[in-house]
Structures are given as structure tokens and as C-alpha cells.
Structure 1
Amino acid sequence: MEQFSDLLKTRLKDPAYDFRQDSFLNYLKTPKRSYKESPTVKDYVDISEKDLERMATGLYKPLKPALKGREYDVMIGNGRIISKKEVSGVKISNITDVLSELPSVVWEKKGKEREEFLINASWSGGYFVKIDGDKSVKLTIDAYNDGMDSGSEKNIILIGKFSKVNLVESRYTEGEASGNPTQGKATYIFLDEGASLEYNYLQDKNTAVNDITYVRTFQEKSSNFKIFHVNHGSGKLLFVNESTQEGDESDYRVFGASFSNGHQAIDVRDSSFQIGKSTSADIEVRGVVKGSSTTIHRGNIDIELPSILSTGFYDSKILLLSKEGYANSKPALIIRNNNTRSKHGSAISSVDKEQILYLESRGIDEKTATTLITGGFIESIIEKSNNKKFVETVQEYSKDINF
């Protein structure tokens, strides 16, 4: 990372320099994970030092995706806003254009993990969205990255008091993809008192791309955050989603789905960190594994000592549809007071043969029966989304599973 130290002093010397420098020091002080945690750690998705160096030193080139025929409110190419529509009560900007205007709380959040520290040190683009209080907003963001480029982005979303927001963010690859580029992003969401956000996140990048994503949400009193995240693409994927519920009576709900095939390696981590009183967290994740791919679900329900009268539930289920595939699920509870309700569960299985036989007895062939069962397994989670287009896209992924 000697090359990055030089870049930090030159290319990245901007109003966020102190934040970048502190983040980079945290990265240097955080050792790479050893294999002592458990015997299964060796099977975790390995984001190599070479991958990270490509991301940290990469510089996204200008990218202008084709706009015709696409429905969006904001179009992003390689971390820069290409086109946007006016939305009442919403400010949308490139983050690099508003660095001096960002509230201090943004610079206080440097992350928790090694890869995240490096993203927060190296980002060269990203978006800033601010939504006024007492607004009802629907927003669609389509983001494209060049399949040959490595780099990173930082995104900030601020939602004012008592606003209700439905946000759909889709991530794709533009053009040819090769060379195993590593693309990282850190999205930090701040929900003010009484604010509500439904965040529909879809990632379907080319499998030549390594993708590292952190979504961190900070919730004030009586705020509600619901995230539907779907990961369908990327060769190596690290997706980390965690909400810090500082406000009393805040609610956090996660509905996640992942599809892996071929040689894909997917690591999905969803966690709650509950501090406020009477908070609730409910995490449900589903995965489908085919080919010689790997899918791992990990996450914590962390209820701190002040968080009395709170609840936390984590449920992970993975369908393993190939003898060559690998699946692992490792939920955990960290409960620091005894005035709470919490539980976790996980299951890894193949398609139930009795269900297939039942459908075959109704005249449905085995391939169609398996597709129907798999589709229902995923759609039971995603159909709770309030965005029709998002649900339909995931349904198409389920139909396209080849057996």
C-alpha cells in the first residue's frame, strides 16, 4: 500500500483529507483476519491484498451509460451523477461537490472493518442525498460501473424527521468486464426521529468483478428502516449491512436474497446493534447455491445493556442445489441484558424431494417443479417489498435458475 500513501498526499488531498488519513491509519492498524476464529473461516470469501490494492489505487474513468429506455431519477456512471430529475424536497449531488456542507456526524463514522476503512480512505466519487422533513418520497437510482475499472465510492443519505422514503438502488456493469477489477462502496444512511425508509438494493454486476459493499444505518427515536437486498452478480462479493439503533423504539427489518452459480463466492453479513430502549430487529436472509459456488451468511443480533424491552431475531436459510457447491450459515446472539426476547436459526438443505413428487403427481415435470419451489423460497422474502419492478426483477432471477 505504499503507492496509496502517495496518492493520499496528492490525488486525494481534498476537504475530506483528515477523514481519509484517519481511515487509512485504521486500515493499517487492523490486521487481516486470521484463521483462528473457527475451522470454517478458511472458507470465507477471500478479498486478497492484491484485490484491495487495485480498489484503493484505482481511479474510475468518466462513464456515460446509455440513458434511453431506462427509468430512473438518478443515473450514476463510475461514481458520478450523469443525469438526475428534480424531486420535491430532495437534494441530490455528487458527494465531492458538497464536502464542505456535510454535517460533522458524517465524518465521525469511519466504519468498523478493515476493507471498510480502506474504502473510506480511497473513495473518489459517490452521491449525497438529503431529504427534508415531513416528506413522502420515491426515488430510483441506477448505477453503472465500467467492467474494467477498479475504484471506490462513498454515499451519504440523510432523511429528515417523519419523512417516508422508498428508495430503489440498482448496481450494474457497463461494457466488457475483465481483469478482476475490485469495486467498493460505503453507503451510510442517517434516519432522523420518526423517519421511515424502505431501501431496495439490487446488485447484478458481471462475474469478472469483485464487489465490496458496506451499508450502515444510524437510527434515531421511532425511526423505521426496512432493507431488501438482492445479490445476483459479481465473482467475489462481500456485502455487509448493519444498523445502529441508538433511538428508543426504532425498528430494523432485513429481507435478503442471494444467488450464486459457477465459481461465484458470496459473503453476506447482516447485523443489528441495539442501544435504545424497546428497539426491534428482524433479519431474514435466503440463499440459492449452484455449480461450484460458495455462499456464506453471517450476522449478529447485538442487544446492548441499555436496550431493555427489545427484541432481535435472525433467520437464515440456504438451498444447496449442487454437490460441488458450498454453503455456510453462522448467526450469533450477543445479549447484554436479560430483559429482552431474541432467537436465531439457520438451515441448509436441498429441495425437498417430497415436494417435487407432489408437484409431479399434478403433471409438472421435475425441472419446472424444482424451479417453482426455488422461486417460492426466494419470493416469500422479496414479495414483501413495496416496489413492483424490484419484485419482478427478482422473480426473473428465480425463473432463470438452470438445473
Structure 2
Amino acid sequence: MTTEIILPVGREAVESASKSKNEPQWLTELRLSALDKAGQLELPKLEKTRLDRWKMDGYGEYKPAAAISQVNELPEEFNQMLQTNQEGHNLIVQRNSAVVLSHLASELQEQGVIFMSLEEAAKQHSDLVQKHLFTAVKSDEHKLSALHAAIWNGGVFLYVPKNVQIDIPLQAMFVHDEEQAAFSPHILIVADENSSVKYVDVVTSTETTSAQVHSGIAEVIVKPGAKVTFASIHHLSKEITDLSFRRAIVEKDGQVEWIVGEMNYGNAVSDTTSILKGSGSASDAKVICVGTNDQKLNVTTKAVHFGKSSNSDMITRAAMRDEATAIFNGITKIEKGATHANGEQTERVLMLSPKARGDANPMLLIDEDDVKAGHAASAGQVNKEQIYYLMSRGISREQATKLIIYGFLEPIVAEIPIKELEELLSNIVERKLGQ
């Protein structure tokens, strides 16, 4: 018996959108092939999460957006989030289905750095994009990746040439503020040998009246000796389901650092994975999450060790309130031959109300003997002794509880590489916990 699969987007719409943007033939063919596969593939199987029960058919339609010349042309609520970059330097802004602002400082351009819309890069730097696109997250991994490959729009392409060191973070902002507009950005970062870069983005939206999907994939290619810091804050409204998959392939002596703030109000899947391919490669992942109302969350942090003497460290901290439920998976996989690998992980969850739930699932999957690996996990309520201690110093119970929670989350918040965005994340945490 076969089941007819009805996809949220048709072949004609995908082909028409691709041609309207004058995309190269190889990209149009990739999109159509992925759409065909989406009808045959299954949803990803997530720990203790039934995605088939979620509302995930509201992918919307491709809607072009008018370009802007400066940040302050955005609505005020979004403009404030980019107060660190009012001049628009080293910044990409995507509004709904299209990039509306793209700027890279001339000194970086002169060094060969490329920072632009992925759609535009596919035309201007076709060989470079085609070589790396969908190499970290395969377009046929599962139904969600195939759908994304068919419909992604806007996006970011960042290429850092060999030996180029960029000290100032490059920023991107993804904004959704139009009902039924497709919102599926794809991020592709390629750091060539011995280069380094910091990339920071914010994914945000206004309130919507209908259920919609944000489908996002980020691929980070770290060449030998390179280092990439990837920081991201997701702050989408209640009616938007966030499906985000981030993955890095790290070659010999390369490093990737993830800093992720999951601050959505709707259901979300977050998967942040490092493939430590080369000897001496390293990954450091820090994830912070606050769940409120009746959110359903599945947050996975994963490191797969192939290289000898590779290192991974993963820290997840979460606070759950109201009736929010979440699964936090930490997975360290050490493959046969990855001798002297070292993988550490920690998941800690605070439950702030009787009906909230957060399950911490640490997993060590080890196929090699000569390695080090460890994990720690905890889930519980705010420590009463700490509250009583602070109250004995004249602090109210409510304020004492907030101080403990903020102190619990602060080690990750403080890792954001831009001071103003660190403050933005702190403000979002405060709003979510104080509502």
C-alpha cells in the first residue's frame, strides 16, 4: 500500500521562481530534483518528537521585496535590533523572501572576501557555490532538507580566502513581516585555509495570524587551519514553526564555535552538528534556550569525530516555564580510527513551573578505545537554598529567582561576539521569563 504525499509547494511554482531570478541551470535542476525526492522521503526521526503532528505545511509563496539603501528604512522594531550597525557596514538583510540590503566594506572586498546574497552568489560565483552547496547538509537527507533545497530563498554566502583574518563580525538579519511570504534562507560559509571569521545573525518576525514555517539551513565549511565563529539568535513569533539545521565540516586543525540562542515563541526543531573530519579539528558549541507557554521544542547538539586528536565541547542550558516541553539531545559520536579524540557535553535544564518539562538526553556513541569522553546532565527546579540565601540578604523571592536564572544562563549569553547583540539576547531572555 502506498500513501500519496501532498507537498506544500508545486513543481511549476519552484521552476517559475527559479527562472524569474535568472538562476543558473544547475541550480534550477537541483531544486526540481530535490522537490521530486521530497515526495518520497520521510520526515527526520527525532528523539521523543512526532513531527507528523506539527503544523508544517505553511511554507508560503515566493514574494519579491523592494531593496533598501540603509538599515533605518526597516520597521522600527527591527531597526532597533541592528542598532550596532546603523551604517549598514558588513551587513546583509533578508526581508521575507529576498535580500533587500547587502554591504561589504571595500577593504574586505580588496582581500577577496565575498559576502552577499546566496542567490546572487550562485550567479556571480557559480563554480564556488556549486562546489560547496548542500555538501554539509545533503539535499536528500530527509523530507525537510529536500523541501528546503527546492524552495530556499535569499540567504547568505560568505567566502573568506586563504590566510585572511577578519576581526570585525559580519552580520545578517532575517526578517519575516508579511503573511504567506516564503521564508527559507540558506547560509553557506566557506573559510579557506588558515582564515578566520565571526558571523552573527538574528532571525525574527512580527506576529502572524496563520501557521507558517521558517525553514533554515546553515552550512559551514572549515578548511585546514581555519576558524569560524557562528552566533545566531532566533526570535520568531508563536505561529511560526522554526525548522533549523546547522552543520559544519571541519578539516585538519580547523575550529568551529557555535553560539545559539533559541528564543522562539512557537514550536521549533534546532539541530547543530559538527563533523570533525580532520585530525586536530575542534568544535565548541554553546546553546541557550527559553521555553514558554505551550511550546514544543526539540534541540539537538551533536559532534561526530573522524579525525585523530579531535576535540568537542557542548554546553546546553535551558529554562522552561508555563506548559512548555522540550527534548535536549547531546550526542557525541566517536568513529573507529579517531584515536585520542576527546568529547565532552553538558545539558542543564531548569523547570520554572509544575507543568513545564525538559528532558536532557546525553548520548555517547563510541567505536574507538583510545579516547576520552564524558557527559553531565541535570533537570530540576531552582535551588531553594540559593533563594533563601539571597532573601536573607534583603532580596525579594521573585528577584532572587530571577537572579539565579539569569546567572544560570549568563555564561552562554556572554559569549555573543558583539556587545549590543549580547544585550539584545539578555533583553529577550528577560522578556520571555518575565511575561
1:67 is matched by which residue type in structure 2? Answer: V
Q: What code does the residue aligned with 2:96 have?
A: N
Q: Describe the SS at the equivalent of 1:286.
A: strand
1:59 aligns with 2:62: yes
Aligned residues: 394
Aligned to 2:13: 7
Indicate how the Cα distance of structure 1 residues 343 and 117 shifts in structure 2: closer, same or farther if over 3 A, else same.
farther
Q: Which residue of 2 aligns with 1:84?
A: 102
User: Following superposition of structure 1 onto structure 2, how do residues 168-207 of structure 1 map, counting pairs within 5 Å?
Assistant: 168-173=200-205, 175-207=206-238
Shift of 1:23: 3.1
Percent same amino acid among aligned pairs?
A: 18
Return the offset for 1:368: 0.5
Q: CA deviation at 1:79?
A: 4.4
Matches within 5 A, 1:1-400: 1=6, 3-12=9-18, 14=23, 15=25, 16-32=27-43, 41=48, 44=49, 46=51, 48=53, 50-51=55-56, 53-55=57-59, 58-62=61-65, 67-68=71-72, 70=82, 71-72=84-85, 73-87=91-105, 88=108, 89=111, 90-99=113-122, 100-101=126-127, 102-109=129-136, 110=138, 112-137=141-166, 138-146=169-177, 148=179, 149-173=181-205, 175-400=206-431
* Cα distance in 2 for residues equivalent to 1:248 and 1:261: 41
After superposition, the Cα gap between the structure-2 partners of 1:150 and 1:98, relative to the gap in structure 1 and judged at 3 Å, is: closer
CA distance in 2, matches of 1:242, 1:33: 15
Contact 1:190 1:219 in 2 (8 A): yes
Change in CA separation of 1:209 and 1:242 when aligned onto 2, cut-off 3 Å: same
Give the residue type in structure 2 aligned to 1:245.
L
Retained in 2: the 8 A contact 1:45–1:266? no
Q: Return the offset for 1:359.
A: 0.4
Q: Once the 2 structures are TM-superposed, how far is the Cα of residue 120 of structure 1 from its aligned partner?
A: 1.7
Letter in 1 for 2:93: M
- Aligned 8 A contact 1:63 1:78 in 2: no
Q: Is the 8 A contact 1:287 1:295 kept in 2?
A: no
1:25 CA displacement = 4.6
Alpha-carbon separation, structure 2, partners of 1:326 and 1:214: 23
Cα distance in 2 for partners of 1:394, 1:153 equals: 21
State the alpha-carbon separation in 2 of the partners of residues 229 and 153 from structure 1: 17
**Alpha-carbon contact 1:45-1:238 (below 8 Å) kept:** no
Letter aligned with residue 117 of structure 1 = A
Measured after TM superposition, the shift of residue 300 of structure 1 is 1.4
Give the deviation of 1:49 after TM superposition: 6.9
The alignment partner of 2:145 has SS state of: helix
Does the 8 A contact of 1:181 with 1:208 survive in 2? yes
CA contact (8 A) 1:77 1:143 kept: yes
The CA deviation at 1:323 is 1.0
Structure 1 residues 144 and 47, CA gap change in structure 2 (3 angstroms): farther
Cα distance, 1:224 vs. partner? 0.9
The 3-state SS of whatever aligns with 1:135 is: coil
> Quick one: structure 1 residues 300 and 28, their matched pair in 2 at CA, closer, same or farther if it must change by over 3 Å?
farther
* Structure 1 residues not aligned, in runs of 5+: none
- Distance between the aligned counterparts of 1:190 and 1:212, measured in 2? 21
Q: How much has 1:8 moved relative to structure 2?
A: 4.0
1:64 CA drift (Å): 6.0
What RMSD in Å do the two structures reach over aligned CA positions? 2.4
> Which residue type is aligned with residue 184 of structure 1?
S
1:61 is displaced (CA, Å) by 4.4
Residue identity matched to 2:372 = R
Structure 2 gap segments, 5+ residues each: 1-5, 73-78, 86-90
Aligned-residue offset at 1:273: 1.3
Higher strand share: 1
Distance 1:33-1:136 versus aligned 2 partners, 3 A rule = closer
- What secondary structure, in the 3-state scheme, does the structure 2 residue paired with 1:322 have? coil
Q: How many Å separate the matches in 1 of 2:217 and 2:204?
A: 16
Distance 1:86 1:5, change over 3 A: closer
Q: Could you give the per-residue CA deviations for residues 224-254 of structure 1, whole angstroms, max 9, x where no partner exists? A: 1111100112411111111111111011000
Conserved 8 A contact 2:67-2:99: no
Asked whether the equivalents of residues 64 and 77 of structure 1 are also in contact (C-alpha less than 8 Å), the reply is: no
- Provide closer, same or farther for how the CA distance between residues 47 and 196 of structure 1 changes in structure 2, counting only shifts above 3 A: farther
